[in-house]
Amino acid sequence: MPAAKAVEYLRLMEQSGLANYRATKGNRGAWCLHRTEGEVTHVEMFTLWDDEAAIRRFAGDDLLKARYYDFDADFLLELEPEVEHFEVFGA
């Protein structure tokens, strides 16, 4: 996103996105990672879940389809169509 919009976007994500993740049964935590490079701020959502069923409670049946909020298109330069999932080892 344009760096000039980052503060407003992060505020919206704290109020809605992170709150939605954290309110979902089986969510173990949610964070919005961000870094600014010049005039662009990059954002990644990082979440931890009990199991696949917990992810489905948040994301729906298509676990790979990215879920966006109505305001995302006003901020983000790209809307990736899919997400990536990883399993935690050694926790």
| Two tokens, residue 87 | 């399993």
* pLDDT for the residue 35: 98
Per-residue confidence (pLDDT) for residue 91, from 0 to 100: 66
Residue at 42 is within a domain: yes
Alpha carbon dihedral 61, 54, 6, 82, in 10-degree steps, equals -30
- Domain span including residue 49: 3-74
> How would you write the pLDDT of the chain (91 residues) with one tens digit per residue?
999 999 999 999 999 999 999 999 999 999 999 999 999 999 999 999 999 999 999 999 999 999 999 999 999 999 999 999 999 988 6
Global confidence as pTM: 0.87
Q: How many domains does the chain have?
A: 1
Asked, for residue 43, whether it belongs to a domain, the answer is yes
Cα separation of 91 and 74, whole Å? Answer: 37
